[in-house]
Amino acid sequence: MPVTNMRCIPTLLLLLLTVLSIGSCRQKQETTSPAPEPSLIRATKTAYAIGDSITIQLNPSFSVDAVGWDNQPVQPTKISSGLLSFKPATKAVGYHQLVITGQTTTQKRVSDTLQIDVWSDVTPRLLSYTVLQTYPHQRSSFTQGLAFHNDVLYEGTGLNGQSKLMKVNLLTGGIIQSVGLPSQFFGEGITVVNDHVYQLTWTSGQCFQYTTDLVLQKTFVYHTQGWGITHRDTTLIVSDGSNRLTFYSLGFQKLGETVVYDNQGPVTNLNELEYVNGYVLANVWQTNRIVQIDPASGKVVGELRIDSNLPAGVNTTIDVLNGIAYRPGENALYITGKNWPSLFKIQVKELFEQGHRPKIVL
């Protein structure tokens, strides 16, 4: 190749790179996404209580034609000064869908949607308790579930390689019978229904069904974490560590669910459960709090706060309260915790007062 032509190569390469760079910039400019349009509506609060009027701030360019709440039309009580107010008839806690439809100043018909969090309108009453009896408890038991059946105390424990289902001698704390879970399973809550013991696992999505003599019969699959379990008649009630309770048939077919709120918002970390006199009692993980839940509405109507010095000498911020059992005929609860040396029989008179007993509607 002649020397003069070789000298032209750098110049040609520079020109080619410049053209490609310009083309790339133009392409980038052409494919850049347009700026998002401003929201047409905005809630004036992060959450509302049942019975509150809900106030929405409107974009000045937006004229409202219709308001929908959970796919039902609602009539605003006020539209003025860029604000819209209405009072929904809902009695349900949790998130609700608000859709507002209208027109912009350019006559464009548009809709905007918000998820509105509705809290309970009930302030939970503080329940009082009296310790009636103290029993010994295996300090090695990482308690995850506790239940009575035919006056026999059953206990489920956790941790991989240490999880068990046991029959326990209430008076001595001794183990009458025990069956271990394979090491890949972390045992969780238990309940006994129709002479069958159900034991959840934490993250494996499997529930084991045993006879009352601790013989494994069946394994069921579910698609959440497993924390606590109890039952009402033949409906299983399961917690997963959130603020949700899920209802299952005895064959673990999902029947429904409810979310749990008090007047301060969602009550999360629901753990071990027990069904007592129409209500679900739930340990709130890493606290000394047991909440009384109306399973029909999801509202917390009462709460029990166990003395953090019970049992003596135990750091209950580490070895936390976990384990509630109800013994029919006694009107008493039995409570313990993870690696506690004691199990306590307590009386909570307010739990057994005559009155409204909620019915689960599925």
**pLDDT at 246 exceeding the cut of 60:** yes
For residue 361, pLDDT beyond 80: no
Cα dihedral value 213, 215, 220, 221, nearest 10: 110
The mean per-residue pLDDT over the stretch 20-30 comes to: 49
pLDDT confidence band for 81 (50 / 70 / 90): confident
- Between CA 99 and CA 112 the distance in angstroms is 6
In angstroms, the CA 288 to CA 141 distance is 18
Averaged pLDDT, 158-166: 97
Contacts of 292 (CB under 8 A, 6+ apart): 124, 127, 279, 280, 281, 300, 301, 302, 303, 304, 351
Intervals of CATH 2.120.10.30 along the chain: 125-352
pLDDT, position 358: 67
* pLDDT band (50, 70, 90) for residue 22: very low
pTM equals 0.85
Q: What is the mean pLDDT of the chain?
A: 89
What average pLDDT does range 33-62 have in this prediction? Answer: 85
pLDDT of residue 359: 64
Write the pLDDT tens digit of every residue in 275-333: 999 999 999 999 999 999 999 999 999 999 999 888 998 999 899 999 999 998 898 99
**End-to-end Cα spacing for the chain:** 87
Question: Which residues belong to CATH 2.60.40.10 in the chain?
Answer: 41-119
Tokens for 257?
A: 């669910």
Q: Provide the greatest CA pair distance for the chain.
A: 109
CATH, range 125-352: 2.120.10.30
Task: Please check whether the domain covering 41-119 is classified as CATH 3.40.220.10.
Answer: no
Identity of the residue numbered 166: M
Q: What is the pLDDT of residue 23?
A: 52
Per residue in 166-201, pLDDT tens?
Answer: 999 999 999 999 999 999 999 999 999 999 999 999
**Structure confidence at residue 9 (pLDDT):** 44
